[in-house]
Amino acid sequence: MVRYISEKQLTIEEFKTPFRANLSAENRWVKLARVVPWDKFASIYMTLMSSDLGRPGVSPRTVLGALIIKHLEKLDDRGVILAIQENLYMQYFVGLKEFKVDPVFDPSLFVEIRKRVGHKEFDSLNADLIRTVKGKKDGSHNKKHKKEDSDEPSNKGKLQSDATVADQYITFPTDNGILNESRKKCEGLIDKLYHHAGSQGVKPRTYRRTMDKDWLDYSKKKKKTEATHRKMTRKLLESLKRDIKHIDRMLDQVEERGECFPFTHREQRLLWVMQTAYQQQKQMYVDNIHSCADRIVSIYQPHVRPIPRGKLGSQIEFGSKLGVSLDDGFARITTFSWDAYHEAGDLIKQVEEYRALHGHYPELVQVDKIYATQENRRWLKERDIRITAPPLGRRPAKEKQSYSQKRKARKEAAERNRIEGKFGQGKNGYALNQIRARLKETSESWVACIFFVMNLIHLEANHFFGSFFKWITSLAEGGALDTANMVHLFYTRISKQSRNTRLLYCLT
């Protein structure tokens, strides 16, 4: 069951504060609350919940508001709840009618929220934001120009595309590090099985003190030769193999005694992951290689895979690979993969999603050279879509470009860097390269929410004044404002902006 108050029923004048002064309309949380699609998210969120069973749940506005605050302020789950308790404007932002000292919900609920609201739900919100902005821009141009001798609308707009990696916040994986961590966890499971049996018999020998001493000596060496690495790997493989045999034997004894299974679901899953990691590391040790299929780089997050990037300083990244498209500053995740893949296959799907959203194809696709495959070029050419990539084959000797043509080509190629800036904004400003969620579903929701927050900031910063001037124009056309009042209202609004902003709006 979900209780929800629509955004149209909550204003800053109705919010009750413990002070005499009311909330300021110029506060950043009040401004941001105007552009968040609360009702759209509520309709999506309530379809995931029962409407008549169970106790009343948390309001969808409170859920979405808390997620936005978390990623906008880069707080942990507990820090978000504490921040909302201490801030009047944050409480208004999450939909409260008056100031409260009690927490809005328990921090542990964030995990269930991320399981419930995945990247598909956030992509639906992103598409709604783009559709809203495009609808305002094209409101006065409802006529769709069509191609000659065709019923298809003409191509319009630009689409940038690229791929990046959302790094998981894990320890940098090494072969011996994974084996040593698995050894320690197996020793803990052996201790649990021994105490579960009532400490009867002789406890299996694990040589943990000897292995801890050998690992400490190995880790302190600044320069390690290949022989040193392989010697330590051999010791760890032997120790891990011995521990897994002890666990299997002790589990058989538990089954013979007719006792219940002693491990929790999490421990049983961890044991399976460690056995798989042991098989992978043993095969790589025997073959003297350092790679294998579906390689496990973290026993706690076995879904994470190494993603080769080939960039300076980060040859290999560990996380999810994202195929992202940028449409008028709004970013959408087209492909969400935990395995490495060739991003050139995303282009056709991204262009088709652009058409499904806008009703027409883009006029220009701005991508890196890796996307300019023959298949993509052929597909784009059939639909009269240009691409920022030099044509294949030898350049004709007689073909000469004018200065304006060269300048246009350089400008269009340089505009592709906007999507690189969006990745930098996500990683530097919103910790897109430090995803701290452990589960696969919660990590996907974490990443998608970051992109949604960046789109909200872009909407509030670049498209809020467009709706403001449209409102002024509608009032003037209806006779509610005369010229003097329009000038006064315009000056009052822009006088609170910076000098550069005022100059920009005066020039436009």
Considering all CA atoms of the chain, what is the largest pairwise distance in Å, rounded to the nearest integer?
95
pLDDT grade, residue 20 (50/70/90)?
A: low
Q: How far apart are CA 445 and CA 320, in angstroms?
A: 12
Alpha-helix runs per DSSP H in 202-264:
208-220, 226-256
Has residue 319 got a pLDDT over 90? yes
What is the arithmetic mean of pLDDT over 428-434? 93
Has residue 482 got a pLDDT over 70? no
The overall average pLDDT reported for the chain is 85
pLDDT number for residue 138: 63
pLDDT number for residue 487: 46
pLDDT grade, residue 145 (50/70/90)?
A: low
Domain ranges in the chain are 1-117, 153-168+317-450, 175-287, 463-508
pLDDT number for residue 502: 43
Has residue 352 got a pLDDT over 70? yes
Distances (CA, A) of 460 to 91, 158, 326, 359: 19, 21, 17, 25
φ, ψ at 479 (rounded to 5°): 85, 10
Q: How far apart are CA 99 and CA 87, in angstroms?
A: 9
pLDDT number for residue 137: 63
The 3-class SS string of 311-328 reads ECCEEEEEEEEEEEEEEC
The enclosing H or E element of 89 equals: helix 88-93
> How far out from the chain centre does Cα 393 lie?
39
Beta-sheet strands, E only, within 369-478: 386-387
Q: How far apart are CA 450 and CA 426, in angstroms?
A: 7
| DSSP conformation letters of 264-285 | -HHHHHHHHHHHHHHHHHHHHH
Fold annotation for 153-168+317-450: Nucleotidyltransferase; domain 5 (3.30.420)
Has residue 136 got a pLDDT over 70? no
Q: How far apart are CA 192 and CA 327, in angstroms?
A: 55
**Sign of torsion, CA 6 9 13 17?**
negative
What is the arithmetic mean of pLDDT over 382-409? 80
- The number of beta carbons lying within 10 Å of the beta carbon of residue 486 is 14
